[in-house]
Structure 1
Amino acid sequence: MKVVMICTEKLPVPPVRGGAIQTYIAGIVDFLGQHHDLTVLGTTDPSLPMDERVRNVRYVRVDGQGVFETYAEQVVQFLRTQSYDVVHVFNRPRLVPLIREVLPNARIILSMHNDMFDQGKISPEVAVKTIAETERIITISNYVGQVIQSLYPEAAGKLRTIYSGVDLQKFVPWEMSQRAQQARQELRSMYNLGNRQVILFVGRLTPKKGADILVRAMNDLHERYSNIALVLVGGSWYGVDKISDYVAYVRALADRSPIPVITTGFVNAEQIHQWFCAGDIFVCPSQWEEPLARVHYEAMAAGLPFVTTKRGGNAEVIIGDNGLLVEEPENPQCFATQLGKLLASKDLQRRMGSAGRKLAEERFTWERVAREVLDVWNNRAPQL
């Protein structure tokens, strides 16, 4: 079959500037390209050509200038000259009716990574039309599917959860390879972390990601665990190292913290895995209804025990003994309590980290994700 995967207008594929959706696509395209004639349609980037073939996959990039309406026009213009059996749209349900007009016979698959069916982002009329024209709606967590179904019950029979994956060769426990050990030593030396237990956050520094709550939790932990440090990896936006008001606020909190708090600023996507080697405990302090942050998979693959919040789909990756849940994400003391359990026991850290790595190997490989997507492509859903 001829298949086109359509990414969002915000970031390019491959994920040279980061992005969970872009990482997801990049993780599965080579496998899918072995089975079908595959094109990835996405936005431009100065570092990438407008049209190229990499292994079995064609990449076409259009200049949407980061604006949905402009990008949609460019996507439709490209599709007018093409013929595809399957169109797989990522996280832009408003594209579906536009695509149906120019490709009346194509099967349309929609992958949803967050709340784009919210009525503030799509009108009910367009949402209903989108669902009617879509054969399958793949979601990255049960939570995302439940939200869509609660808004539009008619979508229920089309929903399928396909959890994301992780590169098990790149994200590894630091003890497993000489390269990982070297990265750990270099970063710890560079930032004067020594033999401290490093609590790690990786993500955008925005209020909904909760870095400020995590920094404040260090005040309570310091009284019991003096040999710790907190590292906040990330900037205010993908590929940007701008000092926003919130970043300045977090750094002011960090300056007053009783323990070392490192804020790295933006780190290139190709270097992020090195920080997972440098950490000992991972924390995802999300304050919003997170669809399911992919950093959990990276932490598990790196053999790190993690603490996450009971928000959105995050709790769905706590399986057995691989992580701890914070019930009140807005309360720094709740983070201090859960982190204290891990800091008090290296044995618990090792057991949870090992359980996470095993889960990543068994359930969260990119090949598994690709096979499930391939199953959706190859098996036409029954008409409802």
Structure 2
Amino acid sequence: MPLTTLSPAPKIDILLPAKERFSPSNAGAISGVVRDLVQASRAAKQYRILGTAVANPSMPECFTGLLPKNRWFRGHNIGLAAAYLELIETTGAPDLVEVHSRCQVARYLAKKKPALKICLYLHNDPRQMKAGRSVAERRYLLQNMAGIICVSDYIRNCFLDGLDDCDDLASKVGVARNGAHRWLKTPPVKENFILLAGRMVPEKGILECATAIAQVLPHHPGWDLIIAGARRFEDSAPGSYEDQIAKIIAPLGARAKMLGFIPIAEMRNWQARAAISACPSLWHDPMPKAVLESLAAGCALLTTRRGGIPEAAEGRALIIDSPSIENFADGFNKLLTDAEFRHDLQNTAWQDFPFTDTAMADTADHLRYAALMSDRQPG
């Protein structure tokens, strides 16, 4: 059921991780997903987003900045949660608080305020998080959360790993796959370049992918390479990882450019124009937005069989089963030499795109409705 059917309209607070900066210039991946969730929701006015205070927040009409309380001994995330509890003592508790990607914050709130209805929204593998690593910790969350929302089936399976004895509660754990705004109304005109975009960190596979492209591109005149992204989501000097990439692509000369961090509007322009896009994750990426945006822009996408990526890319992209420089090079050779294959991928990506931001928001709202209707049994 949609949230808009409830009367009176429920008040829902969304609590971001402390490290997130909910601003246009420095937004991390979770902030970007939350912005899209609220903007695309049919119940957008029912949300309040809370996070670390920033000077120029995105969506200032629904953002409340907090300063972590006693962070020097509590830590930033629990400090932010303590500040949130202090705030709702004044403003009143919401009907639902949605904690994003911090198991320890969800547990802290459940223990400090047992009457509070809490939904945990997981963007990453909880087995790698504080208060989510062990089966016992995840069992506590399953028993004490009103609902748990995961960005992919992969993340749902991670959460339920070892919880076979909790089948009666597994229905609490739902999936709202990440989505992307379909900003183009008609198929774009594609240009002969490969777009390699993402954070400049080793697990994203940018260096290995750039190495493969540097080997392949000299054999394909008329094709260029564009690399976009930075180590952090802010303007910063190139670090050693970026330097390695720059040296690898240097022999391509003017045929290769590194743009560093670029704003969303500029990134979308490059995505719309790129004939080929690459999202070469080496780690188990839960549901990367770069994959979804590449498909939304009708790119011929090269990506990897990692994490939740195949849930969106299967049948719509060239998926590399075992990521390596050699296998990336083979994949790019296929895309560059076989025009029919490349165009088929572009057409499929454009015509078969169910991963919109509105679909994501609608699914998440239905899961929130279920959480609001649930009877929590504290344990």
Task: Give the whole-Å Cα distance in 1 for the aligned partners of 2:104 and 2:24.
Answer: 23
Task: Give the whole-Å Cα distance in 2 for the aligned partners of 1:119 and 1:6.
Answer: 17
CA RMSD of aligned residues (A): 2.7
Task: Give the whole-Å Cα distance in 2 for the aligned partners of 1:14 and 1:171.
Answer: 27
Task: Give the whole-Å Cα distance in 1 for the aligned partners of 2:126 and 2:341.
Answer: 38
- Of 95, 98, 113, which aligns to 2:108? 98
Structure of greater relative contact order (alpha carbons < 8 Å, 6+ residues apart): 2
- Of 158, 161, 179, which aligns to 2:175? 161
Q: Which residue of 1 aligns with 2:363?
A: 372
Q: Which residue of 2 aligns with 1:277?
A: 272
Report whether the alignment pairs 1:110 with 2:120. Answer: yes
- Of 229, 234, 238, which aligns to 2:229? 234
Q: Which residue of 1 aligns with 2:153?
A: 142
Flag the 1:8–1:106 CA change in 2: closer, same or farther, 3 A. same
Q: Which residue of 1 aligns with 2:318?
A: 324
- Cα pair 2:126 2:158 within 8 Å, conserved: no
Task: Give the whole-Å Cα distance in 1 for the aligned partners of 2:157 and 2:24.
Answer: 28
Please state how far the C-alpha of 1:34 moved relative to its aligned partner: 3.3
What are the equivalent positions in structure 2 for 1:248-259 lying under 5 Å apart? 248-257=243-252
Task: Give the whole-Å Cα distance in 2 for the aligned partners of 1:168 and 1:248.
Answer: 34
Flag the 1:237–1:171 CA change in 2: closer, same or farther, 3 A. farther
Flag the 1:205–1:75 CA change in 2: closer, same or farther, 3 A. same
The superposition leaves residues 4-35 of structure 1 with CA deviations (integer Å, 9 ceiling, x where unpaired) of: 11122222335542322222211121454637
Q: Which residue of 1 aligns with 2:295?
A: 300
Please state how far the C-alpha of 1:294 moved relative to its aligned partner: 1.0
Letter in 1 for 2:177: Y
- Cα pair 2:218 2:252 within 8 Å, conserved: no
Flag the 1:319–1:218 CA change in 2: closer, same or farther, 3 A. closer
Deviating more after overlay: 201-210 vs 112-121: 112-121
Flag the 1:289–1:123 CA change in 2: closer, same or farther, 3 A. closer
5+ residue gaps, structure 1, are 176-183, 185-194
- Cα pair 2:103 2:129 within 8 Å, conserved: no
Count of matched residue positions in the alignment of Structure 1 and Structure 2: 356
Report whether the alignment pairs 1:338 with 2:352. Answer: no
- Of 55, 63, 66, which aligns to 1:62? 66
Flag the 1:37–1:102 CA change in 2: closer, same or farther, 3 A. farther
Q: Which residue of 1 aligns with 2:188?
A: 174
TM (norm. structure 2) is: 0.84
SS at match of 2:120: strand
- Cα pair 2:199 2:231 within 8 Å, conserved: yes
Q: Alignment identity in percent? A: 20
Task: Give the whole-Å Cα distance in 2 for the aligned partners of 1:254 and 1:69.
Answer: 43
Q: Which residue of 2 aligns with 1:350?
A: 343
Deviating more after overlay: 118-127 vs 17-26: 118-127
The superposition leaves residues 269-313 of structure 1 with CA deviations (integer Å, 9 ceiling, x where unpaired) of: 342211212311011111111112111110111110101111111
- Cα pair 2:145 2:376 within 8 Å, conserved: no
Please state how far the C-alpha of 1:349 moved relative to its aligned partner: 2.2
Flag the 1:116–1:383 CA change in 2: closer, same or farther, 3 A. closer
